[in-house]
């Protein structure tokens, strides 16, 4: 299909085309151009494309066009691996259907009140977007009926496989009407995913979109090595010492967007935040302000910055390093637009070095280490900026009134013009002092903890004779960073499985499942290995998360076990003599 095709040429209804146009989308992405005509025609689709290629629009737009507006029962079901993605997809449906009367979409995911979900289900929704565990819970309870379902979508199917939800997906698929339309999208096609496609899709032509190169040629990438408590000072130095027109600062959490933007605002920056709690009108107003030079800094989360395109953005600061290298590529893609040069700077702690190397591999570019601007550099930049303002004022303003005042004051104060100008300069620069070289103490690079030992893959480390014995049943997962072992207060007696823990942590902490390490299950508790550099606010939030009706109460594992939870010494697997346990379905 031609690259110049428009949404109206894809035969979408006028109401949907109008909504898409107002959202700023001009032409369909390759996956949209290929998938929309097939789904509009009622065909099944198997799409293989990377994150960020427009998959949500590829299935949401044509399926909305096929909705029966008079029917309030679920007609479309979208399965997503995480609650963040479920919310994002639901918001996209709502935005695309803004001119469709009586349209309702409902996200269903773990960690959300059942009472509120039951009320919303009783009111009725044409589109349900949910995580597999919560969808299956509602099917088991009889609170979600799929007998009127017209289409089901599996979004990021390979991620659902990786998170242990694939059995739930199979069960849900089997519970849908035989004549429903099926769309499946996945970045990769492992055998288990292809087997589901062969079982449930009818005569589906596979649409494969070649992944875009991760190399961002016009963007200069650098990193700063520092500890977490140095980040705000480091950010301030960058904003003072780097040349840029406008910048976007990426953080991991909504609360961080508000906290950092508030602190930057107190330091005199024209700043605003973007996060998932903001409505579309507020988001659009913030973007308009940046385009109109009324804002210079936006602090945002990944989801909130999706689709953000402001030519002024010439600097991207990764305040929090992303766990997902794909997210990093999307972040830095906010700069270097329209053929311009761009800069991306990454804050990295010693414990995050392996994440840095993963990103370098993904972008196919080395990321050079940089030093923060010194106090002398910041001082010189302030002086140059002030001098430029003076020059422009002298050139463009009528100063005759002020010249008369100067002459009058010089005589009355009995001083020289040089002293008078110096005194006025002193008063004018109070909000942003010019003489600051000594006010910015050096931020020293932190010492690496453990040296090269921390950089070796964990599986290469030999067992030491003094190590604790193996802790029992576990799931072995690939290790991709520096990890800490944590204890959570839910175990086998509560019916928990490793998939439950992976789903809960991935959803609640926004940690990609590939960065969740070894999980070991005991009678009354479990242990899990997670990235060591988890922000404290996420750690505190995880304490309150429930799995199998048990609060996690996560703590750093001390190795001690209470009575009745003897840590076995006979290696992984069930205790001797224990009967094999029937597999349980994971819940998010």
In tens, the pLDDT along 540-569 reads: 888 888 888 788 999 988 876 554 454 443
DSSP 3-state of 421: helix
Q: What is the band of 389 on the pLDDT scale with cuts at 50, 70, 90?
A: confident
pLDDT (mean) for 493-515: 79
Residue 531: predicted pLDDT: 83
**CATH 3.40.50.150 fits domain 219-373:** no
From the number of C-beta atoms within 10 Å of its C-beta (0-12, 13-18, 19+), residue 342 rates as buried
Q: Say yes or no to pLDDT of 347 above 90.
A: yes
pLDDT class for 441, splitting at 50, 70, 90? Answer: low
Domain with CATH 3.40.50.300 in the chain: 8-208, 219-373
Q: Where, residue-wise, is CATH 3.30.70.330 in the chain?
A: 458-556
Output the CA–CA distances (angstroms, integers) from residue 473 to 346, 470, 477, 496, 556, in the order listed.
38, 9, 13, 12, 19
Which secondary-structure segment (H or E) carries 128? strand 127-130
Euclidean distance between the first and the last CA atom of the chain, given in angstroms as a whole number: 39
DSSP string, 142-170: T----TT--EEEESSHHHHHHTT-HHHHH
User: Three-state SS for 172?
Assistant: helix
- Residue 184 CB contacts under 8 Å (≥ 6 apart), including other chains: 45, 46, 47, 153, 154, 157, 193, 196, 197, 201, 204
What is the fold of 8-208?
Rossmann fold (3.40.50)
| Cβ-proximal residues to 39 (8 Å cutoff; 6+ apart), any chain | 45, 58, 59, 62, 63, 66, 151, 181, 183
Q: Which long-range contacts (CB under 8 A, 24 or more apart) does 36-39 make?
A: 36/10, 36/12, 36/61, 36/62, 37/10, 37/11, 37/62, 38/205, 38/207, 39/63, 39/66, 39/151, 39/181, 39/183
Q: 510 CB contacts (<8 Å, ≥6 apart)?
A: 82, 84, 252, 253, 538
Rounded Cα gap, residues 211 and 221, in angstroms: 21
CA dist 138 and 128 (Å) reads 12
Q: For 299-321, what is the HEC assignment? A: EECCCCCCCCCCCCEEEEEECCC
Which tops the pLDDT comparison, 397 or 447? 397
Q: 107, 507 in Cβ contact below 8 A?
A: no
Going by pLDDT thresholds of 50, 70 and 90, the confidence category of residue 448 is very low
Gyration radius of the chain's alpha carbons: 28
Whether residue 211 is predicted with pLDDT greater than 60 in this model: the reply is no
Structurally, what CATH architecture does the domain formed by 458-556 represent?
2-Layer Sandwich (3.30)
Q: What is the pLDDT of residues 317-342, one digit of tens each?
A: 999 988 767 678 878 888 876 567 78
């Amino acid at each position: 299909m031609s690259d110049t095709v428009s949404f109206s040429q894809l035969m979408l209804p006028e109401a949907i085309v109008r909504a898409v146009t107002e959202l700023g989308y001009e032409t369909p992405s390759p996956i949209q151009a290929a998938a929309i005509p097939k789904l509009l025609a009622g065909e099944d689709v198997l799409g293989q494309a990377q994150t960020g290629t427009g998959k949500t629009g590829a299935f949401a737009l044509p399926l909305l066009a096929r909705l029966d507006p008079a029917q309030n029962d679920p007609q479309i079901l979208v399965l997503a691996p995480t609650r963040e993605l479920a919310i994002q997809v639901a918001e996209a449906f709502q935005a695309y259907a803004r001119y469709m009367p009586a349209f309702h979409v409902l996200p269903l995911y773990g960690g959300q009140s059942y009472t509120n979900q039951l009320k919303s289900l009783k009111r009725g929704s044409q589109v349900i977007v949910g995580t597999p565990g919560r969808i299956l819970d509602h099917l088991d309870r009889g609170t979600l009926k799929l007998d009127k379902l017209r289409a089901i979508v599996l979004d990021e199917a390979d991620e659902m496989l990786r998170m242990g939800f694939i059995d739930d997906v199979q069960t849900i698929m089997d519970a849908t009407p035989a004549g429903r339309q099926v769309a499946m999208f996945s970045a990769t096609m492992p055998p288990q995913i292809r087997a589901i496609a062969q079982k449930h899709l009818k005569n589906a032509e596979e649409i494969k979109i070649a992944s875009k190169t991760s190399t961002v040629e016009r963007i200069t990438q650098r990193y700063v090595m520092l500890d977490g408590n140095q980040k705000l000072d480091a950010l301030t130095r960058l904003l003072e010492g780097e040349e840029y027109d406008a910048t976007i600062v990426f953080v991991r959490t909504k609360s961080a967007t508000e906290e950092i933007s508030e602190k930057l605002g107190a330091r005199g920056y024209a700043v605003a935040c973007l996060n998932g709690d903001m409505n579309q009108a507020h988001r659009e107003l913030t973007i308009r302000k940046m385009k109109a030079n009324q804002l210079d800094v936006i602090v945002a989360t990944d989801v909130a910055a999706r689709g953000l395109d402001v030519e002024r953005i010439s600097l991207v600061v990764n305040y929090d390093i992303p766990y997902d290298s794909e997210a990093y590529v999307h972040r830095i893609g906010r700069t270097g637009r329209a053929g311009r040069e761009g800069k991306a700077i990454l804050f990295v702690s010693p414990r995050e070095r392996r994440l840095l190397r993963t990103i370098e591999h993904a972008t196919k570019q080395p990321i050079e280490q940089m030093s923060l601007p010194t106090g002398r550099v910041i001082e010189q930049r302030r002086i140059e900026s002030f001098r430029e303002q003076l020059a422009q004022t002298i050139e463009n303003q009528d100063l005759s009134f002020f010249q008369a005042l100067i002459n009058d004051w010089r005589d009355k104060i009995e001083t020289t013009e040089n002293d008078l100008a110096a005194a006025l300069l002193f008063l004018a620069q109070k909000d942003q002092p010019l003489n600051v070289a000594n006010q910015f103490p050096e931020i020293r690079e932190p010492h690496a903890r453990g040296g090269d030992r921390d950089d070796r893959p964990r599986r290469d480390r030999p067992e030491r004779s003094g190590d604790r014995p193996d802790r029992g049943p576990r799931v072995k997962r690939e290790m991709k960073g520096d990890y800490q072992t944590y204890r959570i207060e839910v175990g086998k007696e509560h019916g928990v499985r490793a998939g439950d823990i992976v789903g809960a942590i991935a959803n609640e902490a926004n940690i990609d499942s590939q960065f969740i390490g070894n999980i070991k299950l005991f009678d009354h508790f479990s242990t899990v290995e997670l990235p060591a550099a988890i922000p404290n606010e996420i750690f505190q939030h995880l304490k309150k998360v429930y799995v199998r009706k048990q609060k996690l109460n996560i703590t750093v594992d001390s190795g001690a076990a209470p009575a009745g939870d003897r840590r076995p010494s006979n290696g992984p697997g069930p205790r001797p003599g224990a009967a094999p346990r029937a597999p349980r379905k994971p819940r998010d």
